[in-house]
């Protein structure tokens, strides 16, 4: 399987439920700013609403960093609206909830569970050029942490803005980074 890192996001045009409205979102809309794609198996389930609610709790901070969040499942935008209207947790979501009933986007990110017609629990951080910088896939029973994704956003933005520097494990904004060089080989 080829790496998806630094690959361009697939072209798409899809309907989303956003703040009480239906809106068309395309791959071209994504380019020009940072984006998180949060794929999940299905609406009206168990782990999924906890993840979307967790991301909603960090959404304002992410927007402050210039990041848009797109949740994606193979449900329709109509189902997203019904879930939003009936779930206290999902009612907190104000970022776009993209419907992908054909699976085009889900397959484009290589997270389709073909035999089920559902998405894996996949998280992707996309840079302003439309290139994937972070890709994570979790088993269905393992929920994700928006706080950890927020840390990865800050690291990816730092690396993009500071050529020649890299962020070590568990790096937090304000901590020291590394400048790869021959002098560091075998010294860490």
Per-residue pLDDT of the chain (188 residues; tens, 9 = 90+): 679 999 999 999 999 999 999 999 999 999 999 999 999 999 999 999 999 999 999 999 999 999 999 999 999 999 999 999 999 999 999 999 999 999 999 999 999 999 999 999 999 999 999 999 999 999 999 999 999 999 999 999 999 999 999 999 999 999 999 888 877 787 67
The residues assigned a catalytic role are 48
Write the CATH number for 120: 3.40.30.10
Q: Is residue 8 part of a domain?
A: no
Q: Is residue 1 part of a domain?
A: no
Residue 135: which domain range? Answer: 13-184
Q: Is residue 4 part of a domain?
A: no
83: Cβ contacts below 8 Å, ≥ 6 apart: 43, 44, 49, 75, 90
Q: Is residue 59 part of a domain?
A: yes
Q: Is residue 5 part of a domain?
A: no
Q: Is residue 110 part of a domain?
A: yes
CA distance 69 to 38: 7
In the chain, the number of structural domains is: 1
Ranges assigned E (strand) in 2-60: 13-18, 21-26, 34-39
Q: Is residue 125 part of a domain?
A: yes
Q: Is residue 178 part of a domain?
A: yes
């Amino acid at each position: 399987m080829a790496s998806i890192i630094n690959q361009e996001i697939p072209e798409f045009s899809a309907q989303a439920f956003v703040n009480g409205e239906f809106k068309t979102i395309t791959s071209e809309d994504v380019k020009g700013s940072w984006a998180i794609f949060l794929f999940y198996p299905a609406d009206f389930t168990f782990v999924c609403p906890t993840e979307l609610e967790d991301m909603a709790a960090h959404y304002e901070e992410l927007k402050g960093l210039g990041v848009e969040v797109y949740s994606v499942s193979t449900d329709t935008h109509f189902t997203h609206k019904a879930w939003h209207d009936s779930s206290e947790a999902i009612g907190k979501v104000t970022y776009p909830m993209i419907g992908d009933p054909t699976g085009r986007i889900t397959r484009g990110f290589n997270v389709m569970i073909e035999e089920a017609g559902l998405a894996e629990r996949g998280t992707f951080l996309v840079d302003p050029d439309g290139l994937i910088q972070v890709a994570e896939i979790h088993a269905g029973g393992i929920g994700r942490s928006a706080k950890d994704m927020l840390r990865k956003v800050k690291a990816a933005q730092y690396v993009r803005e500071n050529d020649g520097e890299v962020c070590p494990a568990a790096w937090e904004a304000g901590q020291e980074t590394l400048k790869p060089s021959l002098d560091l080989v075998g010294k860490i």
